[in-house]
Copies of this chain bind each other. A is one copy, B any other.
Amino acid sequence: MKIVVWNENRHENENPEVSAIYPEGIHGAIANFLGEEFEHVKTATLDEPEHGLTDEVLKETDVLVWWGHMAHDEVKDEIVEKVKQRVLEGMGLIVLHSGHFSKIFKTLMGTTCDLKWREADEKERLWVVDPTHPITEGIGEFIELEKEEMYGEHFDIPTPDELVFVSWFEGGEVFRSGATFKRGRGKIFYFRPGHETYPTYYNKDIQKVIRNGVKWAANTNTPTPVYGNAQPLEEIK
């Protein structure tokens, strides 16, 4: 399985508070803990040519992890379109935190993906609401994060195929924090935590969920549909 961790990598370059937490970038931190379980993990960032997502890279990627925030608009439409085609073909996609507003997530969802938010150093507790789901393997009934950004309902997404986590926030909101979606042959997992000013991606449970998500999202040689004009399989009177 070949994994690419994509990050816009801007906060890390512009905000010392962020680079102090993530000296190798958020992508570096994520690639590191994915590397504990998976052999082929690469990174790609916004400022690379074609954002690091060339046809060659996309073609051989099984699962793409996406983190972006302040520079969603700088991601080129033609790259977004290529990523979308690959998801529809069967590439798994893990969208993290502020990636809810990325072009790729919005175009795959068909909605605004808007939400409530607040940066107030508040507590988040992610409750498992689907204890059958392989994405919850190895964790407990909930994950607690001492300080995170708040995301609150209504989260403007289509009904998820599966709702895995619901967050409680200290300030009074709830949020559908872990949700899966199917598009074409592709499987998508949105996972809420990971504001850039908190060390969330060093949390062992968060790492476990993302590793589980990657495993879940990888396509397993499922059928490739054929579209267009079709000859009848049975005689038509």
Residues on A close to B: CB < 8 A?
88, 90, 107-112, 114-118, 120-123, 125, 127-134, 136-141, 150, 152-156, 158-159, 161-163, 166-174, 176, 181-187, 219-234, 236-237
A225 and B171 contact, CB distance less than 8 A: no
- A217–B182 Cα distance when bound, in Å, is 19
A174 and B166 contact, CB distance less than 8 A: yes
In the complex with contacts A110-B183, A158-B183, A182-B130, A172-B232 CB distance below 8 A = yes
Chain copies in complex: 4
Closest B residue, CB atoms, query A185: B131
Which of B152, B163, B183, B229 touches A117 (beta carbons < 8 Å)?
B229
6 CB contacts below 8 A, A to B, read: A107-B110, A128-B153, A130-B182, A141-B225, A150-B232, A158-B158
Which of B107, B108, B156, B230 touches A88 (beta carbons < 8 Å)?
B156
A234 and B171 contact, CB distance less than 8 A: yes
A229 and B118 contact, CB distance less than 8 A: yes
Kindly list chain B residues whose C-beta atoms are within 8 Å of the C-beta of A115.
227
A184 and B219 contact, CB distance less than 8 A: no
Which of B110, B112, B140, B222 touches A131 (beta carbons < 8 Å)?
B222
In the complex with contacts A153-B128, A223-B140, A120-B232 CB distance below 8 A = yes
Which of B112, B123, B128, B153 touches A154 (beta carbons < 8 Å)?
B128
A233 and B172 contact, CB distance less than 8 A: yes
Kindly list chain B residues whose C-beta atoms are within 8 Å of the C-beta of A109.
110
